[in-house]
Amino acid sequence: MSLSLIRLGALLRKEFIQMRRDRVTFAMMLAVPIMQLLLFGFAINTDPKQLPAALVAPVQDRFTRAMSVALENTGYYRFVAPDATAAEAERLLSQGQVAFVVTVPGNFGERLLRGESPQMLIEADATDPAAASGAISTLGTVGAQALRRELGQPASSAPGPEIVVHRRYNPEGITQYNIVPGLLGIILQMTMVMMTSMALTREIERGTMENLLAMPATPAEIMLGKIAPFIGVGAVQMLVIIGAAGMIFDVPFIGSPWLLFSGVLAFVLVLVLLGYLISTMARTQMQAMQLSIFIFLPSVLLSGFMFPFRGMPGWAQVLGEVLPVTHLLRLVRAVMLKGAQPGDVAGHFLALAIMAVVLGTLALFRFRKTLD
Amino acid sequence: MTAIPETAISIHGLTKSFSGRKVVDDVSLQVAGGEIAGFLGPNGSGKTTCIRMICGLLTPDAGTGTVLGLDVLRHQRQIRRQVGYMTQRFSFYEDLSIEENLNFVAGLYHLPRQVVADTLADLGLTSRRRQLAGSLSGGWKQRLALAACIMHKPRLLLLDEPTAGVDPKARRQFWDEIHQRAAGGMTVLVSTHYMDEAERCHRIHYIAYGRLVISGTVAEVIANAGLTTLTVETAEPGQLAARLRRAPGVDQVEPFGTSLHVTGSDPAALRAALAAHDATGTAAETSLEDVFIRLMGQSDDNIR
């Protein structure tokens, strides 16, 4: 059998014609790489700066001011709560509103002036060890230098203030503590959206859609019928992953399991609705698959799963806030690692609820009741 | 349920275009209650599109009409409840068993489970009810589809080429079933390519290139066509047919074994053409097929 160029040419022509006819695939082949390259290229930054911090200092004097200015000058810290009480700061840290809490005791300046070596506490949210590491590494030297400058002491003279760093929620900085709960969101995102995105396209491809539409089922009934089984599948996946997180990876589980389960179920509901919306738009299962992947990539890269959320520029953070998995990641980490209370994660529940309503409405609106 | 309405289907000027091409063009159609109406026409003539508009699966671009007294434009949902529609392609779930498919349909129509059991018994499928629908032969798939479509006792049954790919025995059984249902008051609109099936309908409607060409009983359609058909016995049908096809006054020549069916609209011209080729014909009945082939040719000319 020889290679015939004429036969090969015929095969190539046919492939190109088919590629051109499938406009969605063609557009995705060209547009998606460019879009994602620009999006992720500019958005991802593994050394986040301008991390929000709270300052707890009952007595605000020149030392506390010098300290906060010096920390802000490093570019890593931004004091969003410059005069918080200890309780407020604890709440902000637990809700993830600040990444650091700097606590300066009331007699700090006094003891420093007496030539003693007072302690100052910096608590870091170490649920994502990578995100906090850069900021923590600059702490000791910068803080000490600033105070010595304020005292007029040479840099080398002793004794100086002692800076104590607490890595909260994950004292050993174990990466699995961050990644494994995150994987719960990512795995669910991948399987749920992809499975439900085939829901209607499969009916269309097999020719059963015409019959389904001819029978008296309403669009809402069809949608609920399609998504409900997958909510069950999602619940099983959740139990498997959480079980594995505890048994294999020794990830601590401090918070309420019920809060976690209801959060994950809300997330699964959003995912299946998203998948169903895709299935109302895609014409073939192939297109549904491509659209799912198109949404999956930013969910991994811009949600704070793989790279620190606070490292991204503002526009990318806005984009990240719209991704359901972003809210799930924060919710899961808050409940599992920080023992967050319902009030702490209410915002994420609200965000997921809004997404569910919007996606469900869009899907019902997009659903074609006729074959037009 | 109300009594059978006088007219089950009454549509006027139904029109539908797909990407600028008129697939159904100004079709008007009346089907009386309890009647079996045949919908005929070549492939791509708009039969399926028409049926889909009647059962509310497609929205007409123009036209008005009622189906079972309900407006085709405004009451699509109510129409779907009272109509049974059997699609051209088998559109039940091949990965569900026979019984599971019927249970599914019964659930959508709020039918009690007993209806499924009765339907399985009627079909003679009770023992095979756990077999996957995908593993059924063409004839059985068609019987299953029909059973599923009439389980909710629709007042109007729309069948889109129901017997394509079904053997003659199964087709006969199928038509017996249709006639029984019609006798029970169900109205049936059935599209088909087969002339023998057209002849089983009370009235036929012929559609070509989206336009309704003729409506009437089989006898009316044949009489209105005004065709004369002669049977010519010949030893060499192939050669004679080739020559006659070119002769003036001859519209169609169809070989049937050793004889030819020669059809024309002018009896004198037809006999003259035969005489010119040393052939004699005996008068024969014009068949529905002869009429349709002529109609198809005419519509073809009109389009060009």
Average pLDDT over all residues of chain A: 86
Residue B300 lies in a domain: no
Identify the pLDDT of residue B1: 44
pTM: 0.82
Q: Is A2 touching B (CB cutoff 8 A)?
A: no
Same domain, B70 and B201: yes
Same domain, A163 and A181: no
Identify the pLDDT of residue A157: 53
Q: Are residues B80 and A206, on separate chains, in Cβ contact within 8 Å?
A: no
Q: pLDDT (tens digit, 9 = 90+) per residue, B154-168?
A: 999 999 999 888 888
Q: What is the CATH number of the domain that holds B39?
A: 3.40.50.300
Residue B78 lies in a domain: yes
Q: Which of B58, B59, B81 sits opposite A216 (nearest CB)?
A: B81
Same domain, B255 and B120: no
- Percent of chain B beyond pLDDT 70? 96
Q: How far is A202 from chain B (nearest CA, A)?
A: 11
Domain hosting B11: range is: 7-217
Same domain, B20 and B154: yes
Domain hosting A120: range is: 51-168
Identify the pLDDT of residue B100: 94
Q: How far is A316 from chain B (nearest CA, A)?
A: 40
Residue B5, pLDDT > 60, answer no
Q: pLDDT (tens digit, 9 = 90+) per residue, A32-45?
A: 778 878 888 888 88
Identify the pLDDT of residue A83: 86
Same domain, B101 and B157: yes
- Residue that terminates a domain, selected from B217, B250, B269: B217
pLDDT band at A153 (very low <50, low <70, confident <90, very high): low
More confident residue, A128 or B46: B46
Q: Is B90 touching A (CB cutoff 8 A)?
A: yes
Contact (CB, 8 A) for B291 and B225: yes
Same domain, A180 and A289: yes
Same domain, B181 and B259: no
Same domain, A142 and A264: no
- Residue that terminates a domain, selected from A168, A198, A214: A168
Q: Are residues B93 and A372, on separate chains, in Cβ contact within 8 Å?
A: no
Residue A353 lies in a domain: yes
Residue B155 lies in a domain: yes
Identify the pLDDT of residue A139: 74
DSSP code, position A313 = -
Same domain, A272 and A160: no
pLDDT band at B304 (very low <50, low <70, confident <90, very high): very low
Lowest mean pLDDT, pick from A134-143, B85-94, B158-167: A134-143
Residue B92, pLDDT > 60, answer yes
With both helix axes pointing from N to C terminus, report the angle between A86-95 and A342-366 in degrees, rounded to the nearest 10: 30
Q: How far is A210 from chain B (nearest CA, A)?
A: 7
Identify the pLDDT of residue B299: 67
Same domain, B123 and B201: yes
Same domain, B157 and B255: no
Q: What is the CATH number of the domain that holds A140?
A: 3.40.1710.10
Same domain, B183 and B254: no
Show residues of chain A in contact with B76, CB under 8 Å: 369-370
Q: Are residues A215 and B94, on separate chains, in Cβ contact within 8 Å?
A: no
Same domain, A203 and A286: yes
Same domain, A191 and A154: no
Residue B2, pLDDT > 90, answer no
Q: Which of A282, A278, A273, A280 is nearest to A367 (CA)?
A: A280
- Tokens (6 digits) for B141: 């798939």
For residue A176, the surrounding DSSP H or E stretch is helix A175-196
Same domain, A133 and A281: no
Show residues of chain B in contact with A226, CB under 8 Å: none
Same domain, B237 and B172: no
Identify the pLDDT of residue B273: 86
Domain count within chain A: 2
- Residue that terminates a domain, selected from A168, A193, A221: A168
Residue A132, pLDDT > 80, answer no
Look up tokens 């949902």; give the residue. Answer: B77
- Residue that terminates a domain, selected from A139, A168, A197: A168
SS3 assignment for chain B: CCCCCCEEEEEEEEEEEECCEEEEEEEEEEEECCCEEEEECCCCCCHHHHHHHHCCCCCCCEEEEEECCEECCCCHHHHHHHEEEECCCCCCCCCCEHHHHHHHHHHHCCCCHHHHHHHHHHHCCHHHCCCEHHHCCHHHHHHHHHHHHHCCCCCEEEEECCCCCCCHHHHHHHHHHHHHHHHCCCEEEEEECCHHHHCCCCEEEEEECCEEEEEECHHHHHHHHCCEEEEEECCCHHHHHHHHHHCCCCCEEEEECCEEEEEECCHHHHHHHHHHCCCCEEEECCCHHHHHHHHHHHHHHHHC
Average pLDDT on A173-197 reads 87
Average pLDDT on A352-366 reads 95
Residue B170 lies in a domain: yes
Query: Is the predicted ipTM greater than 0.85, yes or no?
Result: no
pLDDT band at A154 (very low <50, low <70, confident <90, very high): low
Same domain, B173 and B127: yes
Domain count within chain B: 2
Average pLDDT on B137-153 reads 90
Residue A301, pLDDT > 60, answer yes
Same domain, A73 and A219: no
Same domain, A361 and A282: yes
Q: How far is B177 from chain A (nearest CA, A)?
A: 21
Q: Is B206 touching A (CB cutoff 8 A)?
A: no
Identify the pLDDT of residue A156: 52
Residue A26 lies in a domain: no
Same domain, A199 and A324: yes
Average pLDDT over all residues of chain B: 88
Residue B252 lies in a domain: yes
Same domain, A135 and A184: no
pLDDT band at B26 (very low <50, low <70, confident <90, very high): very high
Residue A155, pLDDT > 60, answer no
- Tokens (6 digits) for B129: 């009810």
Q: Are residues B52 and A216, on separate chains, in Cβ contact within 8 Å?
A: no
Residue B96 lies in a domain: yes
